[in-house]
Chain A
Amino acid sequence: MRTYRLQYKFLIAFVAFFVILLVPFSIVVYKDYWVTMERLDSIEPLSPEQRAAADLHFDEILDNFMFVSFYVFVLAFIFSLFFAKIIMDPVKQLYRGARELSEGNFNTKLDVTTSDELGEVTRAFNQMADALRKQNEELNRKDHYLAAMVDPMWVVDEDNFITDINPAFSRLLGYGKDEVVGSSIFDFIEEEDGKVMRRKFFEADPAEPPAYEISVISKTEGIIPVLLSVSSIMEDGEATGRIGIIKDFRREAALREAIKEEKEDTEAIMDSMVDHLVVVDRDYRILRANLAARVDMGERLLGEFCGDVLHGGSGRCAPGSEDCPARKVFETGQSRRTVHEHVQDGHRRAFVEIVAFPGKDIRGDVKHAVLSMRDITEQKQFEDEIERKNRELTMFSGISKILGRSLNAEDIFNRVLDKLTELVGMDGGGIYLLDEMHKSLMCAFHRGVSEGFVLSAGHIKLGEDIPGRVALTGNAFVSSDVSQDGRAEKSVLKHSGVKAYACFPIMGKEKLAGVFFMFGFKGRVFTPEEERTFGSISEMMGISLENVRLYEKMRELYEQNRNRRAEEHRNLLDLSTMLATTLDLKKVLASSISLIRKACRADFVWLLGLREDHLVLRAASDGDFAGGEEVYLGGAASIERRVIEKKKPFVTRRLAPGGEFRFDTRLEKYGAACSVPLYIGDRALGAFTLYYLAARELPEEEVHFLQTVGSVLAVALERTRLYENVIIQKGMAETVLESITDGVVTVDGEGAVMAMNSAAGRITGLPPEDAVGNVLADILGASPANAELRLKVQACIEDAIGGKVTSAESNFTVSGGRRLPLVFRSAPVRDGKGETVGVVFVLRDLSVERELDAMKSDFVRSVSHEFRTPLTAIVGMTEMVLEGEVGEQRARDYLSTVLAEANRLSEMVSDVLDLAKIEGGKEIFTEGEIDFRAILKDVGEVFEYAIKKKNAGYKANVNGTVKGFRGDADRLKQMLRNLVENSLAYSDRGCNVRVSVRGRKGGVTIEVSDDGWGIPGDELQYMGEKFYRGGSAAGTKGSGLGLSLSKEIAKMHGGSLTVESEAGKGTRVVVELPERRD
């Protein structure tokens, strides 16, 4: 409203201005008019018309003047409005801004529209508004801080009345701001605390804000322990109030309580421990100690150096003292365990196990070392005891092992000495064995003793020196320093440098066996336990020594026995080998007799055979006796007669003439005799007798041995006799067997070969003598390829044993991979009683038959091939001629080829037919005198072209007398043609072919030879077999009939054809034809 007033003021000012301006002007105009009129009147009086006109003009001027005045007034009004607006707008804006500010909108910003003083005012207003906004923001932020504070805060005036609190205060104490402002702060603090606080406030130095642990009273939770810090609010150096910040101390208080309890507990635990616990600082002073430590080491322990207290010694642990665990803990920061050995009360040794742990502060630095100490003396003693026992046991077990494992004295005692010196830690030792005969001790084994010493002191008389005394008395001698020992006055040890010495008797079961000693160059205390141990060991040694001696004795006996047995065995073996390898009776007997004589060390041996009732000399070890002599006639009471009758050996120690037996006069010089009968079953064969010059006793074993020899000899004699009988029959059978081409094998019930003929040997590839004794199935079925054969053979043997005759067929793969088709037939072999004792196998190798079969089909193929080629010409060319495809001249050529090929075909057909005829014996032999020269000429002409083409050398000649030889000329010509054709066909260009016909006594020899390809050895055997064509025939034409036909022709003439050839060298065919007589 006031603004409007200002506007009106402007309007009034304007109107006034207008009036002030217009009134003088109107007066001037009016006065001017009247002046003008008077002047005009003075010059000339004015007529009324003039006056009227002048009045009118004046009215007009007045009208105009009114109009102008109105116009100016309106203009002035508008201007005044306009200026009023220009001035009022910024003022209004300022007014608005000021209102907004007063309403709290500090973001007010006014537009500066003019650059005049009003603009300046606006700008100043804006700056003021900005400054106010910043101030306000600062205040707001501070309010936020206060609100965000977790810890409660209050502000009091100088009289401690609360002026402000933050929200945390309300949260903790449960009072709203309205409730507390104006109240005394002490209303919220426990009374006692309040009193203290008042005093503290009074004393407090304003620069250092104090902190108090007090309790406040909460509306909801009662009394709460807190930490209060108070600071003064200073204004112009004058304290106007205080700010207090409270920290809820409930958790801390609880924690503190817990720590306190914990500490008490720890103390209690520490005190309840039996082990000593002390805590030392880095100066090794004891800071704390548990009850056990305090009791045992005195209450005044605290503050002492641990070294002084613990081992009454040197104060602080010296640097480098290895086993100070506290030191180690400080150095390394790691715990450390060690065992200290303390000497207590001057002599008692105590062992203390100390475990030191690092005590670290909050930064992890080691501040203290906690030492836990335990007296382990007792435990240590137990351990030592156990260790000692262990050592002893080890020693015992080691030594008893050695003693138990071997029966070789040297081995045992050397090792015992090694073990003992090692286990006891002595420098050496030895064993003296008692020589009862010489009443002395011999050093048998020793360790660490020089040979010189052994030589000088190795032989000790009983009772001399220490070992001698020990041996004599049986009491051990032990000395820790022998050089100081009075008992060793006379001993060599006295000055030997030996100090520790122990000598123990080695006791056998009943008597002393020796002594053992040990020595060391250093003094050594032998504990009673050790002495006991040595005693036990020496006992063990004694037993062992006796065992060894016993064993050696037994061994000696055993060896003797064994040698004797071995000799007997060897003799028997010699005898049976000899018997088995010879079948010559005389030789058998002579050898046996001499062997027996040698084996039994007899002076004379003879063997008498029983012929009818007489005893006939069969063999004697003395050349004076002739075989076949009848020594004792039937009924003569000789020693041999007696043993034959009694069927058992007889020994006589003395041969007394006129005694019980009758002796041949030549035997009178002998003193003793032993006779052994020879029997096969119940059949007596004779007896043999050993004679000794000296009277002697024969041990039972020897008689037993002779009996064995007798049995062997009897069997051999019988076998030889039977063999001689059988050999003739067998010889015949064998000849038959050997001459048949089938393999015959006899096997026993187990399938082992008993006999085999040579044909079987050829088939199996094993010489018959090697095959005997081997199992047939193994011989035939050795390789996996023959598994089937093996099964079949086994089945056949089983069948045959079952009495069946069976046959089977199988392939037999021989070494080298060749397969033989084998057919075999098996039949049981029965003995005289009709029992099956074996199986006879007949093996037939079918490969030759199979090969012939193959050859036959080869022939069919080959003949068909040979027939097809000429047929091609005949069929093909005839067709072309008939079709009129060739000219007349060409047709003629064709037909002549057809004719030639037809002739070749016809020739081949006749070859085949000829062969069939000759073989079938149907060929008619057209005999006449043969002119060989003419035949050779003809043959030469036939091959003239072929020879020329091959550039071959061809020579044919006839030698000797061939005149008058009779034969089939056509056939012989055919034969020669075939042979020459072969020579030319199976040779390279430039070959040489020779044909010679030589007359000789009783016939003619025709030879066709060449230096061509020859025939390999393995094919040669089939040459001349019908239809066979060798490997080199593959590229040549032929029916494989030529040589067969030639052979047949030679045979037809009563002669023979043989082929000799070597691969690469050439072939020679020789035909021998006998002279034919009418």
Chain B
Amino acid sequence: MSKVVVIDDEPFILLMLEDKLKRAGIDVVTSRVSVGALDIIRREMPDLVILDWMMPEISGIEICRLLKADPELSGIPVFMLTAKGQEEDEKLGMKCGANRYITKPFSPKMLLEVVQEEIEAGG
């Protein structure tokens, strides 16, 4: 079973994604706090990580950068979930190694599709 870790400080987004992905048979581990996110990822070793950008304490971009710098974790694909819609923001996100950049608001259906696509591609 594939596993996805979702980190977002907005509880309803976690709830929504958990429902959507679990229904598609994907195991979901969520966290509302960004502190310790890397520990969770290291523990779960998921197939994909979905990160919110704007979070108190540590931003999603920072987590993504740390994750990509860690040789053990760098292989895990990362989706950035963010309300930042500007083009430069997207560039910055990609520069940090994010595999995909999803702008809020988004369709859960579409998200599921890209998640499945990414997991299948990762094999």
Residues of A in contact with B (beta carbons under 8 Å apart)? 861, 864-866, 868-869, 871-877, 879-880, 883, 885-886, 890, 893-894, 897, 901, 1034-1037
Q: Which residues of chain B come closer than 8 Å to A876, judged between CB atoms?
A: 13, 16, 105-108
With known contacts A880-B20, A885-B19, A901-B12, A864–B83 Cβ distance under 8 A: yes
The answer to whether B56 touches A880, judged by C-beta atoms less than 8 angstroms apart, is no
B57 interfacial by beta-carbon distance below 8 Å? yes
CB pair A874–B105 under 8 Å, yes or no, is yes
| Nearest 3 pairs of A and B residues by beta carbon | A1035-B56, A868-B83, A875-B105
Alpha-carbon separation in the docked complex, A868 to B83 (Å): 6
The contact of A865 among B12, B54, B56, by CB within 8 Å, is: B54
Which of chain A's residues has its CB closest to B57's CB?
Answer: A1035
Q: Which of A872, A879, A893 contacts B83 (CB 8 A)?
A: A872
- Give A880's nearest chain B residue, CB to CB: B108
Given known contacts A865-B84, A873-B12, A1035-B59, is B105 in contact with A890 (CB within 8 Å)?
no
User: Are B54's CB and A868's CB within 8 A?
Assistant: no
- Output the least CB separation between B25 and chain A (Å): 13
Closest residue to A900 on the B side, CB-wise? B12
Contact between chains at B13 and A873 (CB < 8 Å): yes
Residue of A865, A880, A1034 near B59 (CB, 8 A) is A1034
B106 CB → nearest A CB, Å: 7
Question: In chain B, what residue has the closest Cβ to A864?
Answer: B85
Say whether B106 contacts A869, CB under 8 Å. Answer: no
B117 → chain A closest CB, angstroms: 19
Docked pose: A19 CA to B56 CA in angstroms:
163
Q: A864-B83, A1034-B54 are in contact. List 16 more A-B contacts (CB 8 A).
A: A864-B85, A865-B84, A866-B83, A868-B83, A869-B104, A871-B104, A872-B104, A873-B105, A874-B105, A875-B105, A877-B16, A879-B107, A879-B108, A880-B16, A880-B108, A894-B16
Q: Mark B81-93, 1 if CB is under 8 A from A, else 0.
A: 0011110000000
Q: Whose C-beta in chain B lies nearest to the C-beta of A875?
A: B105
A81–B10 Cα distance when bound, in Å, is 148
State how many residues of chain B have any CB contact under 8 Å with chain A.
Answer: 24
Question: B43 at the A/B interface (Cβ < 8 Å)?
Answer: no
| Cα–Cα distance between A59 and B45 once the two chains are bound (Å) | 149
Q: Give CA–CA (A873, B12) in the complex, Å.
A: 7
When C-beta atoms are compared, the residue in chain A nearest to B88 turns out to be A861
Interface bits B56-73 vs A (CB < 8 Å: 1, else 0): 110100000000000000
Complex contacts, A877 vs chain B, CB 8 Å: 12, 16
Once the chains are docked, how many angstroms separate the CA of A193 from the CA of B84? 138
Contact of B109 among A864, A865, A883, A901 (CB under 8 A): A883
**Minimum Cβ distance to chain A for residue B14 (Å):** 11
**Cβ-based interface call for B103 (8 A):** yes
**Cβ 8 A contact of A1035, one of B12, B13, B55, B103:** B55
Query: Which of A876, A879, A1036 is most buried by chain B, counting CB atoms within 10 A of its CB?
Result: A876
Distance, CA A879 to CA B20, complexed state (A): 11
With a cutoff of 8 Å between Cβ atoms, the chain B residues found around residue A875 in the complex are 105-107
CB distance from B120 to the nearest CB of A (A): 21
Contact, CB under 8 Å: B13 / A872? yes
User: What's the nearest-Cβ distance from chain A to residue B97, in Å?
Assistant: 21
Q: Are A869 and B56 in contact (CB under 8 A)?
A: no
- Which residue on chain B has the smallest CB distance to residue A873? B12
Alpha-carbon separation in the docked complex, A868 to B52 (Å): 13
**SS of B interface (majority):** loop
Contacts of B23 in A (CB 8 A): 885
Please tell me if the beta carbons of B109 and A868 are within 8 angstroms of each other in the complex: no
Task: State the Cβ distance, A35 to closest chain B Cβ, in Å.
Answer: 149
Complex CA gap A861/B90 in Å reads 13
| 10 examples of A-B residue contacts, CB within 8 angstroms | A866-B83, A872-B10, A872-B105, A873-B16, A875-B105, A876-B13, A894-B16, A1034-B54, A1035-B54, A1035-B57
Contact call B83/A886, Cβ cutoff below 8 A: no
Contacts of B12 in A (CB 8 A): 873, 877, 897, 901
Given known pairs A868-B85, A875-B107, A876-B106, the reply for A1036 and B10 (CB within 8 Å) is: no
A868 B19 Cβ-Cβ under 8 A: no
Given contacts A864-B83, A873-B12, A879-B109, contact A890 B19 (CB under 8 A): yes
Min CB gap A354→B, angstroms: 94
- In the complex the two chains form, what is the Cα distance from A880 to B56 in whole Å? 28
Q: How far is B34's CA from A1035's CA once the two chains are assembled, in angstroms?
A: 11
> A residues within 8 A CB of B54?
865, 1034-1035, 1037
Q: Which A residues lie within 8 Å of B86 (CB)?
A: 861
Give the residues in chain A near B19, CB-CB below 8 Å. Answer: 880, 885-886, 890
In the complex, what distance in Å separates the CA atom of A901 from the CA atom of B104? 14
Complex-state Cα separation, A456 to B11, whole angstroms: 118
Shortest A326–chain B CB gap in Å is: 95
Picked from A869, A886, A1035, the residue with its CB within 8 Å of the CB of B10 is A869
Compute how far the CA of A864 lies from the CA of B84 in the bound complex, rounded to whole angstroms: 8
Complex contacts, B57 vs chain A, CB 8 Å: 1035
Alpha-carbon distance A894/B11, docked complex (angstroms) = 12
A874 and chain B: residue at smallest CB distance? B105
CA distance A894 to B16 in the complex (A): 8
Give the shortest distance, in Å, between A507 (CB) and chain B (any CB).
98
Q: Mark B6-31, 1 if CB is under 8 A from A, else 0.
A: 00001011011001100100000000
CB distance from B81 to the nearest CB of A (A): 9
- Among candidates A861, A866, A872, A885, residue contacting B20 with C-beta atoms closer than 8 Å: A885
In the assembled complex, the CB of A483 is this many whole angstroms from the nearest CB of chain B, namely 104
Cβ-defined contact, A872 with B109, below 8 A: no
Q: Write the nearest CB–CB distance from A865 to chain B, whole angstroms.
A: 4
- Which residues of chain B come closer than 8 Å to A865, judged between CB atoms? 54, 83-85
Which partner residue on chain B sits nearest A869 by CB separation? Answer: B83
A9→B57 CA distance, assembly (Å): 152
Q: Residue on A with the closest CB to B110? A: A879
In the complex, the answer to whether A872 meets B106 with C-beta atoms within 8 Å is yes
Least CB separation from B86: chain A residue:
A861
Instruction: Give chain B residues whose Cβ lies under 8 Å from the Cβ of A897.
Output: 12, 15
Residue of B nearest to A1036 (CB): B56
Nearest chain A CB to B21's CB is how many angstroms away?
11
List residues of chain A with CB within 8 A of the CB of B108: 876, 879-880
A922 → chain B closest CB, angstroms: 30
Q: A901 to B85: give the CA distance in the assembly, Å.
A: 19
Of A874, A890, A897, A901, most buried by chain B (CB within 10 Å of CB) is A897
A1037 to B56, CA, bound (A): 9
Bound Cα distance A893, B11 (Å): 12
A886 to B86, CA, bound (A): 33
Complex CA gap A883/B24 in Å reads 14
Q: Are A868 and B103 in contact (CB under 8 A)?
A: yes
> How many whole Å from A1030's CB to the nearest CB in chain B?
14
Q: How far is the CB of B50 from chain A (nearest CB, A)?
A: 13
CB distance from A792 to the nearest CB of B (A): 30
CB-CB < 8 A to A874: which residues of B? 105
Whether B20 and A871, one on each chain, are in contact in the complex, defined by CB atoms closer than 8 angstroms, is no
Does B56 lie within 8 Å of A868, measured CB to CB? no
A875 to B59, CA, bound (A): 24
Whether the Cβ atoms of B55 and A871 lie closer than 8 Å is: no
Determine the residue in chain B with the shortest Cβ distance to A885: B23
- Distance in angstroms between the alpha carbons of A332 and B107 in the assembled complex: 115
Question: Which residues of chain A are within 8 angstroms of B105 by Cβ–Cβ distance?
Answer: 868, 871-876
Contacts of A893 in B (CB 8 A): 15
Residues of chain B contacted by A866 (CB below 8 angstroms): 83
Determine whether the beta carbon of A861 is less than 8 Å from that of B84.
yes
B19, B55, B84, B103 interface centre (most CB from chain A within 10 Å): B19
Min Cβ gap B116→A in Å is: 15
Q: How far is the CA of A871 from the CA of B103 in the complex (A)?
A: 11
Neighbouring A residues of B56 by C-beta, 8 Å: 1035-1036
CB distance from B40 to the nearest CB of A (A): 19
| Complex Cα–Cα for A1036 and B16 (A) | 22
CA distance A272 to B72 in the complex (A): 108
Q: How far is the CA of A184 from the CA of B109 in the complex (A)?
A: 146
**Which A residues are in CB contact (< 8 Å) with B107?**
875-876, 879
Nearest Cβ in chain B — how far from A820, in angstroms?
A: 24
Bound complex: CA A863 to CA B18 (Å) = 27
Asked if A868 contacts B16 (CB within 8 A), the reply is no
Give the distance to chain B from A902, nearest Cβ to Cβ, in Å.
Answer: 12
